Amino acid sequence: MSRNYVGFVLAGFAFIFFLLFSLYEGSNIVNDPFEWKSSTPFTHLLVSNPIFPQDIVWLDFFVYAIKFYAVYPIMTLISAALLLGLTIRNMNKNKKIYINISGILLGVITLYTSLAFFSAHTLGSTVFRYSLLVIGLMLVLGGSYSIFRHKTSN
């Protein structure tokens, strides 16, 4: 097994591990019905007024974990960024410009997600938002620098 695939497999396992722990910690929303109104945006898309714990969609577990238990969601975000970066690199091995453009595009999407969808009402959501900002900036700046360096070396 080559080194590229080992990194891909390890990042995939880390992503799944941290995602499962995030969902486990976020399942505490079932015991906190006062948070159902503000921490269940996906449930409110499907059910107008959730009454029973079974009405809560599993994506809202992740939202609740972001707000109140941010360690594992941030680790999930980092491992997802690593997994996507490795995937982009392996798919476009000989086309360096496409790697950089896709990294910049992914960074712009991450920056937009950070600015548009996450309001920082709790400490966990603030830290998660800044983590998204840092990852997005790193992707945009890294891809831009690599394109600039490639164009000036020719």
Q: pLDDT tens digits for the chain (154 residues)?
A: 576 688 888 989 999 999 999 999 988 888 888 887 877 888 888 877 777 878 888 888 888 888 888 899 999 999 998 888 787 777 666 667 777 788 888 889 888 888 876 666 788 888 888 888 998 898 888 888 877 776 665 5
CA distance 111 to 139: 10
Q: pTM score > 0.85 for this model?
A: no
Most distant CA atoms of the chain, gap in Å: 64
- HEC letters along 64-104: HHHHHCCHHHHHHHHHHHHHHHHHHHHHCCCCHHHHHHHHH
